[in-house]
Chain A
Amino acid sequence: MKRRLAEYADVVTTAAESLRANPLRSLLTALGVTIGVAFVSLMGWALGSLDAAWESTLSTLGQDMLYVDKWNWAGGGNWRSVMNRKNITIDQAEEIARRVRAASMVYISADAWGKTVVRADKKASGLVIEGTMARFGLLPSTTLAEGRFFSEMEEQYATAVAVIGDGVRSALFGNRSPLGETIRIEGRPFVVIGVMNKRGTLFTDFLDRTVYIPLPAFFGLYGRYSRSMTVAVKARSPEDLAELRDDLRGIVRSVRMLSPDAPDDFAINEAQVFRDQVANIRMVIGMVGIGLTALSFLVGVIGITNVMFVAVVERTKEIGIRRAVGARRRSILAQFLAEAAMLCVAGAVVGIVLASGLIAAAALLLHKQMEFLLPFVPLDVVALAVGSSICVGVIAGFVPALRAARLDPVEALRYEA
C-alpha cells in the first residue's frame, strides 16, 4: 500500500512537470476540452438562471392562485375561435366571485395594454394600466418598495390614485421619489401613492411596466364593458388547487351559460402554465449545450490522443529508464493516464475561467434587462465539468498509455530520439 502511494504521488508530480515543460502545447491540445467545459459551464449557467426565473415567477404569480381569463396565457388553441370568445363582463366576474366558496380570496381586475403615461414633460409608453381591487394589495406577493397600496375606501370611491411598477418609476421619475406626484393616464390626473417592488421575471416582464389603479377608476377611463375581466382566485392551500380548479370551471361555465357539450370559452390560468415554456427552453438549451459540448469533447479526445502518442514516442527512452529501475507496466500506464487526465483538468480550469469571464460580463452588461441571469457558474456544474474532463482525459489517454506500458524495456532503452 505504502509502495503504491509513493509511486502514485510521483505519477502526479511527473505529469504536472511534463505539462509545465510544454505549456503552449498543453494549452492548445486541451483546447477542445477547454471549449467543451466552457459550453458545459454556460449551459449550466443558463439553466440555473432559467430555474431561478421560474422560481421567482411561481412566487410572484402565486402557486396557490388561479386566474379566470378569456385567454390562455401560454397561448394555444384555435386562434380564430379564441379571438371570437366573448369578453368576461364585470357582471359575470362579480357573479363568479360571489359563487366561489372554497377560496381564501377573490379579486377582479382588468387590463389596458400599450398605454402611455405622462408626468410633466416626461412620457412612458407601452405600459399596462391595471384596474384592480384593494385586496390585491393584501397578497403576500404584492410588496411595495415605498408608499402604500390603495384602500377599500379609495377603491369604492374610484379615487384617482395609482401604484406604479418599478419600471414605470424609473422611466418617469429617475431616482426621485414619486410619492405624492401627479401622473396623467388618458389625460386624467392620478396621484402616485405607492411603488411596487421589482417583480417582473423572464416570463412576466410586463409586471414592472404596470400601473395599478382602483377598478372603478379604470372603468371611468375605459368604460365598464369594453374590457374582458380577470377573476383571480386564491386557494386555501396549494393542495386545494386542483379541486378549486374543478369548482371554478363549473361556476364559470354556468355563469357563461355554456351548454354541456360546448367547449370552454375561457381559460383558467395559473403560474404553472409557464411550465411547458420553461421545459421547452430547457430542452433547447440542453440540446444545443450537449451537442456543442459533445462535439468539443470529441475534438478534445482526438487532439489529446494524438499528442499523447507523440509524448509516448518522445519519451520512449524515459519509459525504458523507468522500466529498468523498477517501474511495472502498470506504473507506466498510470503515469500517462494521469498526464492525459491532468491535461484535461488544466483545460477544464481554463474553460471555467473563460466561461466565468463571459458570465460576469453578461451579468454586468445585461443586468438591467435580464435580472434573472446568475452572476456565476453553479458549483455543481463546475464539479460536473471537471469530472467529465477527467473522463475525457482517461479515454483519450488510454490507448497511448497502453502503448507506452507495452513497450519492451530493451527496445525502449535502445531508442534514440
Chain B
Amino acid sequence: MSAHSPLILLEQVTKDYRMGSEIVHALRGVDLSIEPNEYVAIMGPSGSGKSTLMNILGCLDWPTSGRYILDGTDVSSLDDAALARIRNQKIGFVFQTFNLLPRATALKNVELPLIYAGLSADERRRRAHAALESVGLGDRLFHKPPELSGGQRQRVAIARALVTNPSIILADEPTGNLDSKTGAEIMALFERIWREGNTVILVTHEDDIARYARRILRIRDGCIESDVPNNSPASVEEPAAQR
C-alpha cells in the first residue's frame, strides 16, 4: 500500500435492489475515502443504506456501479473466489448477533477463517489461542457459545475478526444485543484494537456508540449526509478486557 492511496476508496458507488416490480436505490452514488488506522462510525436510520454500504465495504456484495478500491485492489469486478479471499484476508467482521457456530468451541470458531486461509492445524490453534487471550478469554477456549455470556460471545467474535490480521475491522451494531455495561466494555476493546494500529469501521444507529469513533459519517436515503471528525470522543475504561 502506498502512502498516497487510502485504504478504502469508493467512487460513485450505487446499489440497486429489485423488490418485486420496484427497483430500490439503496445507494445513490457514494464517494468515500478512509485512511489506514482510522476509527469511523457509519450512522443512519434503518433503510438509510448503511447496511448495504457495510456489505459492499465487507466485500459481501457487489456495487451496481462505481468503483471500490480496497488496499490498492479494485474489488468491484472480482469473482466469487477472489472476493472470498479478500474477505478472508483483509476484512474482519463483527456482527450484532455474534454469528458464531453454536456447536463449535470458542477456539474452533476463531480458527474458522484460518481454515479458509489454509493454515496448518498447529498454526491455527496457536493464533486462535493468542487472539482469544488478547480479548481476555484465554480461560474459555473450549467453551461453546451457548455456555458463554453475550459479552463473552462478542469477544469470541472479535477474536475471530482479529485472528487473520485484517486491514479493516468491520463491526455492525456490535453492542446491539448487549446491556450498556457490557457494551461499554466491548467498545473499550475496540478502542484498544484501534490504538494498536487497526482500522475500525462501526456501523450503528446509536449516538452513544458512534461517539467512541474519531470520525462520524451520516447516511440518509443512500447518500452521505455528513462526514465530520469527532473531536470529543467518549472516554473509555477497559476493566473487563484485562481479566
Contacts and interface: CB of A to CB of B under 8 A. Distances in A.
A2 interface: yes
A250 to B, nearest CB: 79
A3 interface: yes
Interface residues of B, number: 29
Nearest to B93: A324
Interface of A is mostly: helix
What's the dominant secondary structure at chain B's contact region?
A: helix
B165 to A, nearest CB: 13
B118 interface: yes
Interface in B100-122: 100-101, 103, 112-113, 115-121
Contacts of B118: 2-7
B119 to A, nearest CB: 6
A124 to B, nearest CB: 68
A331 B58 CA distance: 19
Contacts of B121: 6, 9
A317 B99 contact: yes
A331 B164 CA distance: 18
Contacts of B89: 326
Interface residues of A, number: 29
A321 B58 CA distance: 13
B148 interface: no
Nearest to B87: A326
Of listed B93, B95, B116, residue having the most chain A CB within 10 A: B116
A2 B120 CA distance: 8
Nearest to B54: A410
Contacts, number: 76
A413 B55 CA distance: 11
A320 B117 CA distance: 17
B80 A321 contact: no
Contacts of A408: 61
A326 B99 contact: no
B99 A328 contact: no
B101 A321 contact: yes
Contacts of A413: 60, 95, 99
A322 interface: yes
Interface in B43-99: 55, 58, 60-61, 80-81, 84-85, 87-89, 93, 95, 99
Interface of A: 2-7, 9-10, 17-18, 21, 317-318, 320-331, 408-410, 413
12 contacts: A2-B120, A7-B118, A9-B121, A322-B112, A323-B60, A324-B93, A325-B116, A326-B87, A328-B80, A331-B84, A409-B60, A409-B61
